[in-house]
Amino acid sequence: MKKLLIGLLAFALVFPSTTKADEGMWLPMFVKRLNYKDMKEKGLQLTPEEIYSVNNSSLKDAIVRLGGGFCTGEIISNQGLMLTNHHCGYSVIQEKSTVENDYLTDGFWAMKKEDELPAGFSVSFLQSMDDVSAVINAKLNDEMSVDERNKVIQQLADSIESAIEGDEKYIEASVKSFFKGNEFYVFVYKTFPDVRLVGAPPSSVGKFGGDTDNWMWPRHTGDFTMFRVYAGEDNEPAEYSETNKPYTPKHFLPISLEGVNQGDYAMIFGYPGSTDRFLTSYGIKLAIEKDQPSRVKIRREKLDIYEKYQAKSDEVRIQYASKHARVSNYWKYFIGQTQGLKRLKVYDKKKKIEDDFESWVDKDGSRKEKYGEVISMYQDAYNTLDEVQLAETYLFEAIFGIEMIRFGIGFTRLKGQLEALTAAEKEGDTEKVEAQKQALEGTLARMKAAAEGHFKDYYKPIDQEVFAAMIEFYESDIDSKYKPAACNEYVAKFKGDYKKMAEKVFSKSFLSDKESVMEFLDDPSAKTLSKDPGIMLAEAFYSFYLSDLQIMLKPARDKKSTADRLFVDGLRKMYPNKVFADDANSTMRVTYGNVFDYYPQDAVKYDFVTTAEGILEKEDPTNPEFIVPEKLKTLIKNKDYGKYSDKDGDLVVCFLSNNDITGGNSGSPVINAKGYLIGTAFDGNWEAMSGDIAFEPNLQRTISVDVRYTLFIIDKYAGASHLIDEMKLIYPSKKNDAPAPMAEPTKAEKKM
């Protein structure tokens, strides 16, 4: 994310240049100017134009953003075949699964294109990115309030985006802020809505190791899933249709069978979601003392409840598989991050930066005028945040983690429409009545569709038990002045018996039953909504969050926002010769480094690869996380790896590189020096869980599935060799072979 803090921190450790990780998630448009020399020194054999080009095909054209950026994918054939992580496709696999067709347990493989299943999400290809900082900053000044500043930025962003998008339905322009509001860039995407599930290994492969191995090394997880992007007859985006054709991309990634060696160049393209490496010592203190321990506590309770019921029923196991995965992933993440921040003494390091910043400011009168109040602004802001922000954390983690409450929020909006219709009818305004009825009709249709999806994966006993536990946490841990009065009054009636409260709410509210919801939506009534306890609580919590709590938090957050902008601006001036990369914000970035092992602690060394032998070593038939399918076990025992083995006859499963990634990079391609795919990134390592806040070059590692293991599972295990036939495989060759020109069409493309 940025060479930033390594440059900033005088305390940064010095490592040999051959093993030093490069901190930075870089905008590809700046590779030629900022990074190319360093990339070449690390082994890159491509030109900057082969990495990023607007006018010619380049690596960027093979990289896709899934949805709004929840994961990354890469195109690996001239027929729109896309590779990403198993956990990125997990919700799709779960949604398609039933007890009779349990794709989570058994895997799914479309043996012909007609068998591929609609995925329900879109993918976007980046077309271009441009710096619009001068346009926006020209209209801003330091005398503006945060609201005034944001209003101007939004107006200019809307104007820029509208001018680019025009009437193009599938073109999206997005202006993003960088360096805490000091720079602005516009990104232009082409979005393809027709994406289909092609293949997924069983969870015993794609999720092997489960929560136990999550964020850990050594790893033996085949974390991959395959989709296909479809287009209309003109190869342009189109809504789902049986007549659509596989998309022919501008570029797809050839796949290397050469494998990885210690020190090999490794580059990752993707859409990292968010990091916070400018976070101050004040933010670290709040995170490790209050925020993260609360998230861990709440999530663990939900997981325990999920698991109790999932163990009793295959239907419930499938229903809650995706929900469990979402909760558990960051449950463990927050544990690891808190431990890492403490172990690596990040608070002290951040405090040192702030002290150095103040010293730099005090040496110049003009600096004191502009930056002199930055640290005191942080102090004032966190005096409030330390007290109030936890109430917001509990709302999102606990209260909105209750499915009834979250589902009920939609009905609070419906109540407003029903009341508006009644008012229009009383006024006798026929035109307004008709408009309100049409709007209401559309809302009800959407809510019925939402209810179908909600109840497909809903189990009332789980939600009722979660309700009781979450309300108890909320009541015991949050001061009443930071909770809605209506909730306080309702809870008081039950005198601390949260189980009884849950039973009452779930027996009286129509929200917990699909038939009751559908019956209500057929004949909606504002009066019914007003009497429903589930709706009442949903409305109380949601209204309190939008109004009261935000009013409490806004002055502190505005002050922090201003301090952030000035602090980062000052830091960049403080170190004028440093090359900075900004925090992740779901925009395309490239990170580069090398394949490397690491030393997690004294006298312990971790190798840079794992092999299939380790799968059998971890096997435990009594533990669902470590079950090995019989066919896979046989293939491994017989070393029946085919062309996917390494030179020693072993099958590499995962490998490490010192690339700088975060959430959103899941599914990102790992690309070698010649532009070939060598793996798919899916995780970070436990010892560097603090990396989203403070990069540690000697510890930070990216865990990736070796592409040869992916192909082995597709081919030898699943028997889906027709998918292998689509790909362009690059067999082992001499190290000094030159890469194929990126802009040249492949043989497969010439045949199209």
Report whether 619 contacts 627 (CB < 8 A).
yes
Smallest CA-to-CA distance from 460 within 410, 404, 411, 389 is with 404
Report whether 644 contacts 708 (CB < 8 A).
yes
Q: Is the dihedral of CA 304, 305, 306, 309 positive or negative?
A: positive
Report whether 224 contacts 84 (CB < 8 A).
yes
User: Residue 244 corresponds to which tokens in the numbers above?
Assistant: 């659509």
Residue 330 CA, distance from chain mean position: 11
CA pair distance 318, 322, nearest whole angstrom: 8
CA pair distance 401, 394, nearest whole angstrom: 9
Of the residues 512, 586, 666, 668, which is catalytic? 666
251 in active site:
no
666 in active site:
yes
CA pair distance 288, 276, nearest whole angstrom: 14
At CA 573, angle to CA 370 and CA 663, rounded to 5? 105
Report whether 652 contacts 706 (CB < 8 A).
yes
**Neighbouring C-beta atoms of residue 309, cutoff 10 Å:** 16
CA pair distance 198, 134, nearest whole angstrom: 45
| DSSP structure string for 528-594 | HHHH-HHHHHHHHHHHHIIIIIHHHHHHHHHHHHHHHHHHHHHHHHHSTTPPP-PPP-SS-EEEEEE
50 contact partners, CB below 8 Å, separation of at least 6: 58, 59, 675, 739, 741, 742, 743
CA pair distance 63, 82, nearest whole angstrom: 9
Report whether 132 contacts 175 (CB < 8 A).
yes
Of the residues 87, 220, 324, 454, which is catalytic? 87
Q: How many CA atoms lie within 13 A of 147 on its CB side?
A: 2
User: Residue 330 corresponds to which tokens in the numbers above?
Assistant: 């960051």
Smallest CA-to-CA distance from 48 within 620, 511, 742 is with 742
**Neighbouring C-beta atoms of residue 619, cutoff 10 Å:** 17
Of the residues 223, 291, 564, 660, which is catalytic? 223
Q: How many CA atoms lie within 13 A of 214 on its CB side?
A: 18
Fill in the DSSP letter of residue 26.
B
Smallest CA-to-CA distance from 683 within 671, 675, 691, 674 is with 691
CA pair distance 682, 704, nearest whole angstrom: 6
CA pair distance 398, 470, nearest whole angstrom: 5
241 in active site:
no
- Rg for the chain, CA atoms, rounded: 27
User: Residue 104 corresponds to which tokens in the numbers above?
Assistant: 């989570």
Using DSSP's 3-state secondary structure scheme, residue 262 falls into coil
User: Residue 386 corresponds to which tokens in the numbers above?
Assistant: 């330390």
Active site residues: 87, 223, 666
